[in-house]
Amino acid sequence: MPAERVEDLLRALAPQVLGALVRRYGHFDTAEDATQEALLAAATRWPGDGLPDDPKAWLITVASRRLTDLLRAEQARRRREDGVGREVPTDRWLAPPADTAPDDADDSLVLLFLCCHPSLPPAGQIALTLRAVGGLSTAEVARAFLVPEATMARRITRAKQRIRDSGLPFAAPAGPERAARLDAVLHVLYLIFNEGYASTAGEQLHRPDLCAEAIRLARLLHRLTDDAEVTGLLALMLLTDARTPARTGPDGMLVPMAEQDRRRWRADRIAEGTRLVGAALPRGAVGPYQLQAAIAALHDEAPAVESTDWPQIVALYEMLLALNDNPVVRLNHAVAVAMARGPRAGLALLDALAADRRVAEDHRRYAARAHLLELAGEPDAAREAYLAAARRSMNLTQQRYLHARAARLGPLPAG
């Protein structure tokens, strides 16, 4: 079996295996170590030997054996766990086998709620979940937080230790406890999807495995709760992912939304997403995910960029800013203003963002500025802005696109 297909399968199975081990044995941090060793063994053996009949069961078996070895080597922890065990009611002494599906929720979703427990600080919740449930490497999580990899490694380690020391049961929360963790869970799913849809670094523009996992978990969450923001987030993911087939050309080059062949967009996802938006919006207070989904629906329902309802999109972004004022929303608002009122109006808003250190040197601000300068008839300034964006992007597909846009406007500097 090709190594690439093995890697894709392992990424999908990793959170399920980790969830099964934590549910059966506890010991979050040690279970993750054992899971990683099982994944390494599979990555080494499966390309040559072929897949076992039940890959998930194989991984759980190998990881369970390794976990047992690790626990035996930690006598102090075992003594502490024995003491805790004596205090547990007798009806909770036995746990189901690790490969038995839980009754109330997918293991990955239970693991997601565990990672988002209030005992962790928000940054730790998100970092640990991206690592344990989303399958991102520590380096990828560090880029999402704009911190050094070593800093993120320490943050994830501290989060795992807190989970271990808390003695939390591996079970889906209910009632008020679920509501208390829901905001963090939604934010984590949002970040996982965004990393999949527009990878921060590497050769791939799109990581469909991460998008699919975020959508899968959002669907599970949607079945567990009727919260309108859960519905909004699922709708946003579907409406955004619908454009994926048209985002790159035959040569792998990025295609901006304005130039995409909208006939290639996934009509089934657009229909489902717009139906979810329509169900969520009339139900009371409107949250940021519902607003973003409404914006995405307006884009997806327009037959062409020229017929998009830009004034309505500007109005929705202004509502979003009132709820969640951050530089990325302001950047998107500036582009919408440019499309509704002319490029000069958008450029004024983008230039004002240069004072915000969080986004001033972000490649997205330079790319948006380049596009608006091009629309305003300033090819030289647009070319310089495209090149500045390319220098700041860590994604190779984005870099190639930005260089190509610059080259269309004039000769590039030597070297």
For 357, phi and psi rounded to 5 degrees?
-60, -25
Whether residue 94 has pLDDT greater than 50: no
Whether residue 27 has pLDDT greater than 80: no
- For 31-60, the pLDDT digits (tens) are 877 888 888 788 878 888 888 888 899 999
Residue 74 or 342, more confident: 342
Confidence of residue 303 (pLDDT cuts 50, 70, 90): very high
- pLDDT, average across residues 122-140: 80
- pLDDT, average across residues 222-241: 93
Quote the pLDDT of residue 144.
Answer: 61
Quote the pLDDT of residue 216.
Answer: 87
Beta-bridged to residue 248, according to DSSP, are 254
Quote the pLDDT of residue 101.
Answer: 47
Question: Which of helix, strand or coil describes residue 403?
Answer: helix
Confidence of residue 170 (pLDDT cuts 50, 70, 90): low
How far is 338 from 336, CA to CA, in rounded Å? 5
Quote the pLDDT of residue 269.
Answer: 96
The top-scoring range by mean pLDDT among 73-77, 137-141, 385-389 is 385-389
Residue 254 or 102, more confident: 254
- For 398-407, the pLDDT digits (tens) are 999 999 999 9
- For 102-115, the pLDDT digits (tens) are 444 467 778 888 88
Give the closest residue to 358 by CA, choosing from 335, 331, 333, 323. 331
How far is 236 from 7, CA to CA, in rounded Å? 27
Confidence of residue 372 (pLDDT cuts 50, 70, 90): very high
Confidence of residue 414 (pLDDT cuts 50, 70, 90): low
pTM to 2 decimal places = 0.75
Mean of all residue pLDDT scores within the chain: 84
Whether residue 316 has pLDDT greater than 60: yes
Q: Which H or E element spans position 125?
A: helix 122-132
- The CB density around residue 398, as the number of other CB atoms within 10 Å, is 22
What percentage of the chain reaches a pLDDT higher than 90?
A: 40
Confidence of residue 287 (pLDDT cuts 50, 70, 90): very high
In angstroms, the Cα distances linking 132 to 107, 112, 204 are 12, 8, 22
Give the closest residue to 23 by CA, choosing from 89, 82, 67. 67
- pLDDT, average across residues 337-343: 97
- For 346-362, the pLDDT digits (tens) are 999 999 999 999 899 99
How far is 279 from 17, CA to CA, in rounded Å? 35
Confidence of residue 344 (pLDDT cuts 50, 70, 90): very high
Long-range contacts of 374-380 (CB under 8 A, 24+ apart): 374/405, 374/409, 375/338, 375/343, 376/343, 376/344, 376/347, 379/409, 379/410, 380/409, 380/410
Quote the pLDDT of residue 93.
Answer: 41
